[in-house]
Amino acid sequence: MKPGLWARLPLVGRVMLSASLALAVAGSLLLLVSTTKEADFSHHEIEEHLVIEQDSLLAAIAESAVIGDYASIEQVIRRRVKRDDIRRIAWTNARGKQLAASDKDAAPSAPGWFARFTSVPSPQQSRSLVIGSRDYGLVTIEMTATSAINRLWNAFLAHLAILSLALVLDFIGIWLILRSGLRPLRALNQAAESMARGDWSVHVEAAGSRELRNTIDVFNRMAQSIEAARKALMVEKERLQVTLSSIGDAVMATDCEGRVEFINPAAETLTGWTAAEAEGRSVRDVFSIINETTREKVKCPVGRAIREGVVVGLANHTLLIARDGTERPIADSAAPIRHDDGRIVGAVLVFRDQTQERRTLDRLRLAARVFEYAPSGVAITDPWQRIVEINPAFTRLTGYSREEILGQTPRLLSSGRQEAGFYAAMWAAIRATGQWRGEIWNRHKNGEFYPVELAIVAMKDEVGQVSHYIGIFRDISQIKEQQQRLERIAHYDALTQLPNRVLLADRMHMALAQAQRVNGVLAVCYMDLDGFKQVNDELGHEAGDNLLMALSNRVTLALRAGDTVARLGGDEFVLLLGLANIDECRKTLDRLLKAIAEPYPLHNQAVRITASIGVSLFPQDEADPDTLLRHADQAMYTAKESGRNRYHLFDPERDRRTRAHHEAVTRIEQGLRAGEFVLYYQPKVDLRQGKAIGAEALIRWNHPLRGLLPPAEFLPFVEGHEFSIQLGDWVIEQALAQMAAWRAAGIELPVSVNVSARQMQRTDMAEQLAAALARHPEVPPQDLELEILETSALDDILHVTELIESCQRLGVRFALDDFGTGYSSLTYFKRLPAETLKIDQSFVRDMLHDTEDLAIVGGIVGLANAFQRQIVAEGVETVAHGTLLLHLGCDRAQGYAIARPMPASAMPDWIAAWQPDPRWAEACQYPSPPRELPLLVAEFNYQDWIDRVTDRLLRDTGPAATEPEQHASLFGRWLEGAARERYGELEAYKATRAIWRRLVTLANDLLALKQTGQADEARQRLAELDTLNQELLDQLRLFHQARSNDKRRPAVNSRPEQPGT
């Protein structure tokens, strides 16, 4: 019978449940009584309030009732009805006129059951207004219990919350008290459960009352005693288990009744029974054996060992039948187990598997038979190569009997055809790999030589030392003869007996390897006969065959013995000439052509033919054999087309360039047809005015595999090619279409387009340009600018000038691109009517660090101003570049510091959002004279250096150490050179030198810390670097102030410095 729920509850649960129920019942009764009393009090309070309100109201309206001021009475009634607990007030005069007001019709917020339980009424009372025995009317007041019930309900909820809190606190308090008091019993219970699960190392900390402490101590001592005894038994059992499990033989122990008590893993494997399954079973069930010959069951020796007390062994040819039916030959013995008093208490059965021994013996017998009947000769030698055994086939193949050969070495069979190096390599391979296989010539006892296929294997003993060598060989004389016949058929031409295409391939590989070894030249000559078909047609095929044989002999005699002449078929031949140099090749080919041209006597007439030879040379043409042959074939056709009876040398480098160039141009043409080309636009801005003044259209190839490619990746392939005109026309057309689209969107932006030299050479350039402009009439011609390279303009300045003038009559403007790279004279420059000069970006990019480039840029700016040309600087990659250009007087620029080339769709947003750098506005406001440009350049170099040092310290990996040092040396050279002459008398100069030395030292120290793995420490000291940096910048500002003071003083014997000094 299952115990009830109360009995199944733990002690803590029962105590907590009982206490909580008691407190809940008591609290509920208290809450009921208090609520009832509160309801009675509210009832009396409402009735008292009714009387008070009625007396007060009668007094308030008495005067108004006497004089008949009903409006005042109504106002009083409406004010009074809004008081708590009043629902309705009505006044009826003596004539029956009634004034009434009501309020608080809402039901109480308390639930209905609570309102019914409290039974608080809503009383009503009417009283007459009598003044001086005259009745002026009847006043009726109706009270409402809603507010009282709501107050009672709120009080009820508050008491209920307090009761709930008391219950929770009571529950928690009881639980904490019981938990603390019963913790030792819980620990003792957990320890007992752990022991039940097999954990005998438990220990319970003594706690609680004295009785509990005593109980826990007794429990701990008991657990310790049991654990000590258990460990001793486990150690003994483990030692026995390890011993029996380590034995290679199977072991099975039984009691005196023959029931299995123990089997080791080896016995489990052989019988198929696990120890758990076999324990308690009869040994006859687990150890089932039969006679191998008769297949009859054999009695288990355990029974006899127990009965007679003797050791019993099994007879030979006994099979053990495993549980799964597997049969294994075994050898076993059984011995009795005796007690100390001599009683037999069981038996131990030891047996082992003889399967491997049987297989080894069978293999030995089989090997002996194979050795005897093998058709191949077998010889076994000792480590010193003395023959210790041979098989009968050895005698048959060599002629030596066993008695004659034993004790001899294999050198007795040596033919002398192999050199000493051959045997040295053979024994080296045997020592390295333990074996060797190959072909060798032997000598028979009768003196005849014959080829054999020989394999030698080193046989090692158990310690890894060579104990014997085994040689196995067979006579391959017939195979060799058959191979030679087949090789002749497969590798030589049946008519001329020259090598055919198959042998030619093999000869080419060998000839290439030979040329590589000796650093020589291999000439692959493809020869085709001129006029052979005519001989064949006129004199017949027999005459043609005779001519081919005669020519083959003549060519063979004209060449050296080491050269190869092969016939591919028909009248096509290939020659392989190993030469020392190309001059020798020319001489050989001249001699060969002369020999071939000599007359051939055929059918009583002299026939003359010639040959056309194409030659490819290795290693000049580093190709594979097939490619060399193909190149020679191409060169042969060139020789034929050049007049025949000659040779032509193939140029591999020119061929590679031609093919690569042709493939590239073809792919570009395909890309244009497939719509893979797009135009990107790089803005050109006026740095001084801070606005975009145009854009340069730059072609990009959206390659399907390589992604978006810049012009440098593909334009060089079409330069000078006819296709460059088509590509240029496409660029102009796309640029005009884009300008039209922008104008439709309200953006008027001039665009410049690069024009190739091939386009400039067109005679109809102006006509094509006019047609393009006509297709886009909404684009003003002056918004299109064509950029031509200065070098292209100088190639034919007269033609270019006429072309520019023709296009300018259309309204198109021109710019000289990359100005400064063409070395044009002032005369040429003056004659070119281009409106704009574009300074090459190589000068602009390096002018911050190269004084010569700075001087060139300054010179070009002065030149443009002198000739009243507009100027645009390319390559403005940093804010410093733009600042310096403004100081030089160049306002227009383009470059990465302004914007990278972008798709046409991005240009409107860029134009709307672009703002010039504030430092450019400062440069426009405070321009520097030319003599102060070195100071600006020095500041740029210094700021560049400090930024690079800081970047290296903040990054996990950085540029090489020499990169910051390069910019430091530029600033340092200026500080010790031009700055000393210009500002040396200033205190600020001396302070700057001192701070600079401290800065360099600190930067080197911090970089050294980072390189030695102390990057965190180096970064912590960055504040020191920032402080010195600010101090140096403050001193450089004093240089500018000194410059301003100098401008206010008249110069005396002063000479302005050139930009870049």
Per-residue pLDDT band at 825 (split at 50, 70, 90): very low
Q: Averaged over 286-295, what is the pLDDT? A: 87
Residue 760: CB atoms within 10 A of its CB come to 20
Mean pLDDT of the chain: 85
Instruction: Give me the half-sphere count of Cα atoms (radius 13 Å) on the Cβ side of residue 1046.
Output: 17
Q: Averaged over 735-759, what is the pLDDT? A: 94
Per-residue pLDDT band at 368 (split at 50, 70, 90): confident
Residue pair 436/428 in contact by the 8 Å Cβ criterion: no
Q: Averaged over 761-775, what is the pLDDT? A: 92
Q: List pLDDT tens digits, range 479-501.
A: 888 888 888 788 899 899 999 99
pLDDT value at residue 244 = 67
Place of tokens 């020989």: 454
Q: Which top CATH class is 930-1048?
A: mainly alpha
**C-alpha to C-alpha distance for 431 and 457, rounded to whole angstroms:** 10
pLDDT value at residue 962 = 42
Domain 494-650 has CATH 3.30.70.270: yes
pLDDT value at residue 697 = 97
Q: Averaged over 21-47, what is the pLDDT? A: 81
pLDDT value at residue 1057 = 41
Per-residue pLDDT band at 683 (split at 50, 70, 90): very high
The dihedral through the CA atoms of 395, 399, 405, 411 has a sign that is negative
Cα three-residue angle 817-822-823, rounded to 5 degrees: 135
pLDDT value at residue 1050 = 43
pLDDT over 80 at 178, yes or no: no
Residue pair 265/252 in contact by the 8 Å Cβ criterion: no
In percent, the amount of the chain with pLDDT more than 90 equals: 34
**C-alpha to C-alpha distance for 552 and 254, rounded to whole angstroms:** 97
Q: Number of helices (H) and strands (E), helices first, in the chain?
A: 39, 34
Phi first, then psi: give them for residue 468, nearest 5 degrees. -150, 160
* Domain residue limits, the chain: 11-169, 208-246, 248-353, 374-481, 494-650, 676-925, 930-1048
Per-residue pLDDT band at 636 (split at 50, 70, 90): very high
Q: Averaged over 869-874, what is the pLDDT? A: 93
Q: Averaged over 310-333, what is the pLDDT? A: 84
Ramachandran class of 643: left when φ > 0, alpha when ψ lies in -120 to 50, beta otherwise:
left
Per-residue pLDDT band at 35 (split at 50, 70, 90): confident
Per-residue pLDDT band at 1049 (split at 50, 70, 90): very low
Single out the residue of 368, 372, 380, 373 nearest to residue 470, CA to CA.
380
In percent, the amount of the chain with pLDDT more than 70 equals: 91
pLDDT over 90 at 824, yes or no: no
**C-alpha to C-alpha distance for 997 and 650, rounded to whole angstroms:** 65
Q: List pLDDT tens digits, range 571-601.
A: 999 999 998 888 888 999 999 999 999 999 9
Q: Structurally, what CATH architecture does the domain formed by 11-169 represent?
A: 2-Layer Sandwich (3.30)
Residue 263: exposed, middle, or buried by beta-carbon count in 10 A (0-12, 13-18, 19+)?
buried
Residue pair 635/648 in contact by the 8 Å Cβ criterion: yes
Weakest-pLDDT range from 202-216, 255-269, 348-362, 504-518: 202-216
Long-range contacts (CB closer than 8 Å, 24 or more residues apart) made by 590-599:
591/558, 592/555, 592/558, 592/559, 593/645, 593/646, 593/647, 595/554, 595/555, 595/557, 595/558, 596/551, 596/554, 596/555, 597/645, 598/554
Residue pair 454/473 in contact by the 8 Å Cβ criterion: yes
pLDDT value at residue 180 = 63
Residues facing residue 318 across a β-bridge: 291, 330
Per-residue pLDDT band at 1045 (split at 50, 70, 90): low
Q: List pLDDT tens digits, range 610-635.
A: 999 999 999 888 778 999 999 999 99
Weakest-pLDDT range from 221-225, 405-409, 720-724: 221-225
- The reply to whether omega before 777 is within 30° of 0 (cis) is no
Per-residue pLDDT band at 246 (split at 50, 70, 90): low
**C-alpha to C-alpha distance for 205 and 225, rounded to whole angstroms:** 17
Q: List pLDDT tens digits, range 811-823.
A: 999 998 877 665 4
Single out the residue of 367, 433, 435, 379 nearest to residue 408, CA to CA.
379
Q: List pLDDT tens digits, range 382-422.
A: 999 999 999 999 999 999 999 999 999 999 888 888 888 89
Q: Averaged over 921-942, what is the pLDDT? A: 78
DSSP class of 290: E
Q: List pLDDT tens digits, range 422-477.
A: 999 999 999 999 999 999 999 999 999 999 999 999 999 888 899 999 999 999 98
Between 958 and 1056, where is the model more confident? 958
Query: Comparing 248-353 with 676-925, is the CATH topology the same?
Result: no
Domain 676-925 has CATH 3.30.565.10: no
Q: Averaged over 883-900, what is the pLDDT? A: 93
Give the CATH fold of the 248-353 domain: Beta-Lactamase (3.30.450)
Give the CATH fold of the 374-481 domain: Beta-Lactamase (3.30.450)
pLDDT over 80 at 779, yes or no: yes
pLDDT value at residue 386 = 94
pLDDT value at residue 734 = 97
pLDDT value at residue 907 = 96
DSSP run (H or E) holding 781? none
pLDDT over 60 at 1060, yes or no: no
Q: Averaged over 504-526, what is the pLDDT? A: 91
What is the spatial order of strands in the sheet that 646-649 belongs to?
A: 564-569, 572-579, 521-530, 610-618, 646-649
